[in-house]
Amino acid sequence: MKPAKLHYWILGCFSMALCCWCTSDKFHQSDSHPHTWKKLYLAHHWPVTVCKQTANDCQDPPEYWTIHGLWPDKSEECNRTWHFNVTEIKDLMPDMRRYWPDVIHSSLNRTHFWKHEWEKHGTCAATLEVLNSQKKYFGKTLELYQHVNLNGYLQKAGIKPSSTYYQMTAIKEGLTKFYGVTPKIQCLPPEEGEKAQTIGQIEFCFTKELQLRNCTEPKGESSRLQTDLQLGSRELSVCSDTLPVYYPSQVQHRK
């Protein structure tokens, strides 16, 4: 082969290899990549608690647990060039509006919340083939939400919104016994003058094979995903086992 032809042949092979690498890298990260993650959190939030400290735009929240998101642990915004495109999930829109609503900004563009979840978390979850498109990510999240059926379990267990308080250990033990795994339960801490924490979020953890697993971490190891939600000046945190729990039935905006 003549030197000139050999030169162009090498360049062509290099370009093809580079193109293939770029395409595959959109979906797959190497084990040494900083975006590597081990488990997924399926986060449900209680809309009444979400609305508890927000502005008047948050009105008439759903009276059932809705989806907050599906989050890989220890990774965020893995591909900032992979922008949200609502047309890719148009077939899912009825279920998205019902089960994954933007509780806080009910009067604004409802797709902004989904855009945030995709670009922050979905682009990282997409390293799994079963989640490697926007339709797959949102569709599978809806499927897992229906499979867990948190609303159905709580109703069956008699755990419902009330003006009375629950014991945190009773709720946690009930969930663990029913699902066979330990979820992560988050609350708003009591404000001054209050004696109870307010339940706000329940997260179930899944393996990369989308099987339920414990959310507990070994001692000394903690996830960076403490919460993806801030309400007013207070943030959700893991509920205390020693404080009673308030499961509010309606929004009471502070004066």
Q: Give me the active site residues, please.
A: 68, 117, 121
| C-alpha span between 206 and 39 (Å, rounded) | 6
Residues in the chain: 255
